[in-house]
């Protein structure tokens, strides 16, 4: 007979290869999570540095014919430990604010490996990027390009530009993280690209070196990537036929991770093979911008049970983590798997796992099978390494919570 213990052991490895049960206690790398509460208060974010490093190396090694510049999407998680680790591994950065740019440089990422994206770059941010001589600005509108040209002239600074194309491709992900459809605020329509190349081809300070594209986040099928990449390839070929030099192609990011046991996720080798198949012989510098796929699986949110509550039609487990710590379930109706830290043999029962915030949206997961949990028992919420701590708030004045990093048997708490 398959027991709950066996089910948990089988499931847990799908979310983080360094998360496992040993003698009925859950470990992250070589640290027993039950002991974390002896040193720190809950809730607390815990990350496996080995998982992040392995994800980066796996992606890098999946390319065999080209060597793209890998620029980590800092918005996914901007902690110093992550930026420092990726910097030492040779990774660049994709930033969307002056703050992210400053933090990337402070953690060792060289400016010539930094790409600045985003629809709302301010004058101050553009000036700062020019001053730091970053690799390129990914321009999102005709108006932005005109402003950059004026600033570059006034500052007498040269700048490389990639024009972000909106390919009108539906990535088949949540509508709030779709960025490549015609109705989305990102990028410039294909029909207007040639005009911009013609307008700025002789500009003294501004050089349009290529195109960029990013169609969305948490994409679980390869087809949207293939459709978008084929469109951008055709656009490159058209521009070259008109005599424009295209040397850089930024393909963005968007690969999804596993949030639920049965999620279908894209294999990194499949993604890399597609890029190589389409672009190997095009004499282009390829840039990719992974974020969630590098760090999402690394993190867990460790939380304590406050109490159980019996309702008329369902039962609740109230934990001390709330939507102020992890907003994804409330914002995107996202489902994160939850596991007990101490595994028991009790029969499972279905509960709604909820937080303490005074909002009905503060629900992590509904009708979730769980063993019998008691006050002060620990649980982990999986796959929170991306868009977890960096999107948290102090709502209800509960304050921001601590983040710790684990490497083998060592805890780094700064």
Task: List active site positions.
Answer: 358
CA distances to 46, 300, 402 from 406, rounded to whole Å, are: 7, 11, 13
CA distances to 30, 108, 127, 200, 203 from 153, rounded to whole Å, are: 55, 29, 11, 13, 9
Residues, the chain: 414
Determine the straight-line distance between the first and last CA of the chain, rounded to whole angstroms: 45
Strands 92-95 and 69-73: parallel
* Separation between Cα atoms, residue 338 and residue 157, nearest integer Å: 51
Closest by CA position to 219, among listed 267, 263, 171, 277? 171
3 state SS for the chain: CCCHHHHHHHHHCCCCCCEEEECCEEEECCEEHHHHHHHCCCCEEEEEHHHHHHHHHHHHHHCCCCCCEEEEEHHHCCCHHHHHHHHHCCCEEEECCHHHHHHHHHCCCCHHHEEECCCCCCHHHHHHHHHHCCCEEEECCHHHHHHHHHHHHHHCCCEEEEEEEECCCCCCCCHHHECCCCCCCCCEEHHHHHHHHHHHCCCCCEEEEEEECCCECCECCCHHHHHHHHHHHHHHHHHHHCCCCCCEEECCCCECCCCCCCCCCCCHHHHHHHHHHHHHHHCCEEEECCCHHHHHHHEEEEEEEEEEEECCCCEEEEECCCCCCCCHHHHHCCCCCEEECECCCCCCEEEEEECCCCCCCCEEEEEEEECCCCCCCEEEECCCCCCCHHHCCCHHHCCCCCEEEEECCEEECC
């Amino acid at each position: 007979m398959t027991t709950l213990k066996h089910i948990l052991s089988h499931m847990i490895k799908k979310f983080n290869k360094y998360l496992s049960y040993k003698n009925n206690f859950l470990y992250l790398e070589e640290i027993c999570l039950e002991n974390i509460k002896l040193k720190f208060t809950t809730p607390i974010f815990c990350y496996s540095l080995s998982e992040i490093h392995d994800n980066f190396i796996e992606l890098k090694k999946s390319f065999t014919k080209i060597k793209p510049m890998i620029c980590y999407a800092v918005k996914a998680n901007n902690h110093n430990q992550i930026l420092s680790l990726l910097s030492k591994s040779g990774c660049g950065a994709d930033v969307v604010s002056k703050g992210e740019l400053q933090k990337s440089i402070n953690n060792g990422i060289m400016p010539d490996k930094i790409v600045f994206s985003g629809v709302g770059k301010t004058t101050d941010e553009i000036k700062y990027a020019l001053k730091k001589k970053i690799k390129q600005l990914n321009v999102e509108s005709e108006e932005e390009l005109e402003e950059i040209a004026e600033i570059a002239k006034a500052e007498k600074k040269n700048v490389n530009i990639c024009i972000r194309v909106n390919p009108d491709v539906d990535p088949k992900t949540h509508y709030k993280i779709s960025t490549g459809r015609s109705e989305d605020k990102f990028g410039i329509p294909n029909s207007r690209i040639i005009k911009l190349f013609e307008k700025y081809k002789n500009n003294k300070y501004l050089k349009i070196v290529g195109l960029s594209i990013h169609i969305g986040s948490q994409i679980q099928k390869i087809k949207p990537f293939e459709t978008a990449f084929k469109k951008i390839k055709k656009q490159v070929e058209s521009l070259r036929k008109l005599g424009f030099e295209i040397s850089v192609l930024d393909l963005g990011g968007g690969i999804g991770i596993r949030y639920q046991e049965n999620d279908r996720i894209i294999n990194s080798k499949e993604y890399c093979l597609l890029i190589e198949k389409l672009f190997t012989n095009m004499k282009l510098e390829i840039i990719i911008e992974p974020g969630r796929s590098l760090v999402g699986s690394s993190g867990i949110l460790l939380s304590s049970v406050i109490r159980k509550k019996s309702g008329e039609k369902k039962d609740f487990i109230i934990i001390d983590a709330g939507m102020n710590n992890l907003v994804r379930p409330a914002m995107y109706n996202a489902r994160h798997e939850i596991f007990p830290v101490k595994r028991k043999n009790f029969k499972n029962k279905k509960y709604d796992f909820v937080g303490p915030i005074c909002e009905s949206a503060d629900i992590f997961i509904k009708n979730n099978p769980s063993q019998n949990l008691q006050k002060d028992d620990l649980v982990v919420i999986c796959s929170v390494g991306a868009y977890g701590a960096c999107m948290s708030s102090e709502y209800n004045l509960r304050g921001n919570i601590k983040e710790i990093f684990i490497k083998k048997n060592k805890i780094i708490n700064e």
